[in-house]
Amino acid sequence: MGVAGGPLIYNSASAKANIRSNGYVAVRESISGSVDIPRVYVDVTSDANEAWFLVEMAYPRVTTPYNQSAVGSIPNPSDASMTKVADTTIQNIMNRGLKQTRTQWFHTSEADGSVWADGSLSNTSTMYNLFENPSNWNSTNDSNGQRFKRRQGPGSSYGGEGDWITAQGTGCSGPVGGWSNYYNASCIISWFAGCEGAPAYNHCCACPVDRAQKLIIWAN
């Protein structure tokens, strides 16, 4: 057993192979290295093939998620307010693993009550991103010129070499950045959505401020 509440693992593959239930774990820097992430929540049950580490519980209508530092306690899926690990920890997890994020979006329109996304892992409410170089990404919009891929919902795929997207500062509302971007410019379903002032699933500038209610962000 490891420190701080779990067996010692070193990446998502070892978590999937060696852990049978979700919960907090300590993460080594390598198979035989020392512990460098003392405590993080891991989900090994929702995905048949992969394990996912919980890196942020975001509530964009209450607290800005554009923060590179750790916020609050170590994130837990039951948290009702924003919690987050530091961006350096997110980068660490991704660089030793598959360089992916998985974001569950929850968004009911403040204008008309329409449900844009319900956070389900079995429909298009969940976004997946693959990052060529996670070390050059963070929770702000400072990732212009970096490459990423996108897919949405179960059964989708990232595609091949020609499907890399270069983050850019053009488009309807500003640059791409952050850990969950489905489009190459932040029009809709984006971590950066200009007129909403925070992550948004629908991009409704004519609405009241219509940002996402909740985001659950995982990395591996």
Closest of 100, 101, 112, 114 to residue 215, by C-alpha: 101
DSSP 205: T
Residue 26 within a domain: no
pLDDT on residue 207: 79
- Which of 21-25, 100-104, 191-195, 212-216 has the weakest average pLDDT? 191-195
What is the distance between the alpha carbons of residues 107 and 191, in angstroms, rounded to a whole number? Answer: 13
Whole-number average pLDDT of the chain = 90
Residue 145 within a domain: yes
Has residue 163 got a pLDDT over 80? yes
Residue 119 within a domain: yes
Residue 25: its H or E element: strand 23-28
Choose from 24-38, 54-68, 140-154 the range with maximum mean pLDDT.
54-68
Residue 175 within a domain: yes
- Are the CB atoms for 168 and 185 separated by under 8 Å? yes
Residue 34 within a domain: no
Tally the domains of the chain. 1
Q: Give the residue numbers spanning the domain of 149.
A: 53-219
In the three-class reduction of DSSP (H, G, I as helix; E, B as strand; rest coil), residue 62 is classed as coil
Has residue 139 got a pLDDT over 90? yes
Average pLDDT of the segment spanning 101-119: 93
pLDDT on residue 39: 94
Residue 115 within a domain: yes
For the entire predicted model, the pTM comes to 0.94
CA distances (Å), 111 to each of 61, 90, 207, in order? Answer: 14, 34, 5
What is the distance between the alpha carbons of residues 185 and 182, in angstroms, rounded to a whole number? Answer: 9
Residue 134 within a domain: yes
CA distances (Å), 201 to each of 109, 135, 181, 195, 217, in order? Answer: 9, 26, 10, 12, 15
Residue 17 within a domain: no
